[in-house]
Amino acid sequence: MSEQFDLTIIGTGPGGYVCAIRAAQLGLKVAVVEKRKTHGGTCLNIGCIPSKALLHASELYEEAGHNFSKLGIAVEGLNVDLAGMLKHKDDTVNSNTSGIEFLFKKNKITAFHGWGSIEAPGKVKVTADDGATQTIESKNIVIATGSDSANLPGIEIDEKRVVTSTGALDLETVPEKMIVVGAGVIGLELGSVWSRLGAEVTVVEFLDRILPGMDGEVAKNFQRTLKKQGFKFKLSTKVTNVDNSGDSLKVTVEPAAGGDAEELDADVVLVAIGRTPYTKGLGLEEAGVELDERRRVKIDNHYKTNVDGIYAIGDVVVGPMLAHKAEDEGVAIAEILAGQAGHVNYDVIPGVVYTSPEVASVGKTEEEVKDAGIDYKIGKFQFTANGRAKAMLSTDGFVKIIADKNTDRVLGAHIVGKGAGEMIHELAVLMEFGGSAEDLARTCHAHPTMSEAVREAALGCGDGTIHM
Ligand SMILES: Cc1cc2nc3c(=O)[nH]c(=O)nc-3n(C[C@H](O)[C@H](O)[C@H](O)COP(=O)(O)OP(=O)(O)OC[C@H]3O[C@@H](n4cnc5c(N)ncnc54)[C@H](O)[C@@H]3O)c2cc1C
């Protein structure tokens, strides 16, 4: 008789691998199935980690070219060694993905390589690259197959000149002109990388704003900063065709509402219009697992599908497509399957855009509190009035805290600024504990730090800021 597992997870991205480790720690016998050669999913292989390696390297290059002289550092012969930068990215990916392999061994998790599909509840079929199949018997199955880049209808991706984020992480030369389709997080991050390295970047966005879903004031402000950095924007505009027959790409754009078409030249077009859940070839229809209107796996509040013993987490289910959201769901379902009370607080999931400056937010936007009819107040503080920011030549941006006018409870926080992605967490902890703006304002903050601006914004929700 074949080996019986308590839990088999299909996909070892941040949702799947974290779920596997937590479940094994809680005493379950765990198997994972992964179609890629390496573990870590989109995030570690072609997403969060490689993009941050390139963002970091290109940011330092940009700093060296622009700010070092103001700091009294003379730099001569500054050059981009693109091959070296890509190697740093690949080394970072390898070190992270091999770390997951180590953690699987440490936690006695059995890893199967191949295509996973559900034969029936309790049975996962693994098809290896050579076509050989085997069946894993498992009491429970978690689908953690993540997502894939969404395509623009009629536009052919070759991952060389017309690329998704995956190709944009591997360009062999810096394009002279790059068109980014979509002004979401991924488009702006990867656009920043190539803009810093010398590309002229034009962002074409269907909506009339960048970063849909983020606080409107923050997005407007941030767009101004990106323009100062050389970004061009064509908002309320759609791409209708990319002609790749010549040496340069001809990109046809039109006003989103209809009107005269225009042709733009580009060396590289990055299609970053979002991601679609990965549900094909999984045997979901055969197993009777329901999908929702956007082809995500439908789950209840405990990650269970409509079929007993089959669960789903991460990008393949409803909610923000973020690695830490997938990880937290992985922990929650592992705890639920081990008989504990796993839970994720979806009101406190931070989101970060790792550009320069960074943009970070947690909780509600001003538009959301307004729409909900909540009586609210706002505290704001600009980094131009923060001593540390001045010392670091990093005065772009501000902190905005939204609190309930009657209870002072913090409902949302938004930061544009250097290190915003780190600073946002004191607000996340505060919100987890149901804290007030006054709680934050009365907490001593080390001087001189960028985080003092966070405290000042909290003071701004009450009696007023001190340094502005
Ligand atoms: C360029 C880029 C940058 C990003 N940056 C960030 C960031 O900075 N922060 C952030 O929070 N998020 C970021 N994301 C999003 C983040 O990568 C995803 O939200 C996260 O990876 C989702 O995790 P997951 O476990 O649900 O799925 P995934 O990471 O997509 O993992 C799913 C895994 O399942 C495997 N799989 C799929 N089908 C099968 C099958 N049938 N059999 C076997 N294996 C299968 C896939 O090969 C994959 O390894 C970024 C994404 C991209 C593309």
pLDDT digits (tens, 9 = 90+) for 111-143: 999 999 999 999 999 999 999 999 999 999 999
Mean pLDDT of the chain: 97
Q: CB–CB of 310/333 below 8 Å?
A: no
Q: Which amino acid is at 376?
A: Y
Count of all residues that appear for the chain in the document: 468
CA of 96 to the centre of ligand 1 (A): 14
Task: Give the Cα separation of 361 and 425 in Å (integer).
Answer: 9
Give percent above pLDDT 90 in the chain.
99
Smallest Cα–Cα separation from 46: which of 13, 9, 19? 13
* Closest Cα to atom 51 of ligand 1: 47
* pLDDT tens string 378-428: 999 999 999 999 999 999 999 999 999 999 999 999 999 999 999 999 999
Tell me the sheet residues that pair with 115.
Answer: 127
Smallest Cα–Cα separation from 293: which of 282, 313, 277? 277
Q: What is the pLDDT, as a whole number, of residue 3?
A: 83
Q: What is the pTM of this model?
A: 0.97
102-139 burial, b at 16+ Cβ within 10 Å, e below that, comes to ebbeeeebbbbbbbbbbeebbbbbbbeeeeeeeebebe
Q: What is the pLDDT, as a whole number, of residue 35?
A: 98
Sign of CA dihedral 189, 191, 197, 201: negative
Annotated catalytic, 343?
A: no
Contacts by residues 77-85 (CB-CB < 8 Å, ≥ 24 positions apart):
80/174, 80/197, 80/198, 82/172, 82/173, 82/174, 82/197, 85/54, 85/57, 85/58
Give percent above pLDDT 70 in the chain.
100
Q: Where are the alpha helices (DSSP H) in 107-128?
A: none
Task: Give the Cα separation of 279 and 271 in Å (integer).
Answer: 21
Rounded to 5 degrees, φ, ψ at 12 are -115, 45
Q: What is the mean pLDDT of residues 440-456?
A: 98
Give the mutation target among 12, 35, 42 for probing the ligand 1 site: most ligand atoms within 8 A of CB: 42
Q: What is the pLDDT, as a whole number, of residue 388?
A: 98
Residues with CB under 6 A from ligand 1: 10-16, 33-36, 41-43, 47-48, 51, 115-116, 144-147, 165, 186, 278, 281-282, 314-315, 321-324, 326, 354
Contacts with 17 (C-beta within 8 Å, 6 or more apart), sequence order: 32, 39, 40, 41, 100, 103, 104, 330
Task: Give the Cα separation of 161 and 164 in Å (integer).
Answer: 10
Rounded to 5 degrees, φ, ψ at 423 are -65, -25
Strand, helix or coil at 70? helix
* pLDDT tens string 149-161: 999 999 999 999 9
Q: What is the pLDDT, as a whole number, of residue 453?
A: 98
Q: Is the pLDDT of residue 2 over 90?
A: no
Strand, helix or coil at 411? strand
Q: Which is the closest atom of ligand 1 to the Cα of 114?
A: 43
Task: Give the Cα separation of 359 and 399 in Å (integer).
Answer: 10
**Cα 465 to chain centroid, rounded:** 32
Strand, helix or coil at 86? helix
Q: Is the pLDDT of residue 1 over 80?
A: no
Q: Is the pLDDT of residue 430 over 90?
A: yes
Q: Where are the alpha helices (DSSP H) in 262-371?
A: 284-287, 323-337, 366-371
